[in-house]
Structure 1
Amino acid sequence: MYENHLPIFGVGPYLVLIIGIITIIFSISSYYHLIPVYKINELNMVFFILGVILISLGIVFWISAVLVSKISDEVENNKLVTTGIYAYVRHPIYAAFFYAATGLILISQNILLFILPVFFWAFLTVAMINTEEKWLIERYSDDYRDYSKKVNRFIPKVI
């Protein structure tokens, strides 16, 4: 499955591409009223602000995981990263795209699309369990199991 280290990209690009395409298609369809649009006019600004916050959070997570933590270097060196952003979420790169997609959906303000983040979360969870987390358990065994008991996949623990 892996030679000297886990795959640097894994299934990530495919998962992110699927989420991105679905988000863009439904957002454009909503914008052009190709699908039904249901809005709560009193909350337009709230949804817009929350959307911008989530997109910004996604950018911060991605920068923290890729540039600050230098995850590709750590993978090549066979290190289990549990510090930095990885101390808060196990899969911050996926979380980044999840937050950005959810933010874009909120900005669209179409309540009909608000089900998509639930679908994305379930899709990513199943994909992670069956691919990367499986590889991580094979490679790091109890170290990864202990880490996963303390740190959520995509959403930081509040308490």
Structure 2
Amino acid sequence: MTPGIAKFVFVMMAVGWYLIRYRYARRARREKVVRSVRGARENTLLLISLTGLGIVPFIYVATAIPHFASYDFQPAQAWLGVVVAIAALVMFRLTHRALGRNWSLSLDVRENHRLITDGIYRKIRHPMYSAFWLWAFAQALLLPNLVAGFAGLIGFGTLFFGRVAREEQMMLETFGDEYREYMARTGRIMPRLF
């Protein structure tokens, strides 16, 4: 394992992410949105997340900037990053596959939207967020730079903590008791242990 290979793995994780998402985004566009909370707040949260998970680390991969924040590369840490990156992509794929046409980038309810409670959603309410947390941890492990490596945790963390409560409120308003029962038997981003 070398720094160059670790950067390559990070880039391939992003490519895999795009390839998975592209197919489902095309399908989802065909479904009419009947309710959305997209607005300035949501767009700002998405931009912060994109900056941390995409813009900052890709500047580092391309230029090694910011130089002052770099630290010695640790091959074992990078290997762990590879494992976490693979887990992120698997989780991301399972999430999209389960959601199908219900998927959306923002907080949207589509026509004929149904509550997904099977597949990866059987034990976890927000596995898409789980996948993004895995991405952020993989980024921190693969990129030996305190700014670029940890930007994903900060960027995505801002989106997660600024959005998840609003998303759950929207789901409660849409699905009512069905969603309350679902919440009682699932974990938010990790399966409940008992």
- Superposition TM-score, scaled by structure 2 size: 0.60
Q: Which residue of 2 aligns with 1:81?
A: 116
Q: How far apart, in 2, do the equivalents of 1:75 and 1:86 lie? A: 18
Q: How far apart, in 2, do the equivalents of 1:108 and 1:68 lie? A: 31
Change in Cα spacing, 1:23 to 1:62, as seen in structure 2 (3 Å) is closer
Q: Which runs of 5+ in 2 are unaligned?
A: 1-31, 104-108
Are 1:124 and 2:154 matched, yes or no? Answer: no
Q: How far apart, in 1, do the equivalents of 2:38 and 2:82 lie? A: 29
Are 1:141 and 2:176 matched, yes or no? Answer: yes
Structure 1 residue 28: Cα displacement: 4.5
Q: Partner of 1:154: helix, strand, or coil?
A: coil
Q: Which residue of 2 aligns with 1:64?
A: 94
- Superposition TM-score, scaled by structure 1 size: 0.70
Letter aligned with residue 87 of structure 2 = L
Are 1:21 and 2:57 matched, yes or no? Answer: no
Structure 1 residue 118: Cα displacement: 5.7
User: In the alignment, which of 127, 133, 141 is matched to residue 92 of structure 1?
Assistant: 127
Are 1:47 and 2:77 matched, yes or no? Answer: yes
Q: Partner of 1:36: helix, strand, or coil?
A: helix
Q: Bigger CA drift: 58-67 or 145-154? A: 145-154
Q: How far apart, in 2, do the equivalents of 1:124 and 1:144 lie? A: 19
Structure 1 residue 124: Cα displacement: 0.6
Q: Partner of 1:70: helix, strand, or coil?
A: helix
State the aligned residue count: 152
Q: How far apart, in 2, do the equivalents of 1:94 and 1:88 lie? A: 14
Q: Contact 2:49–2:156 (CA<8 Å) still a contact in 1?
A: yes
Change in Cα spacing, 1:51 to 1:63, as seen in structure 2 (3 Å) is same
Q: Which residue of 1 aligns with 2:69?
A: 37
Structure 1 residue 105: Cα displacement: 2.2
Q: How far apart, in 1, do the equivalents of 2:102 and 2:153 lie? A: 27
Q: Contact 1:95–1:155 (CA<8 Å) still a contact in 2?
A: yes
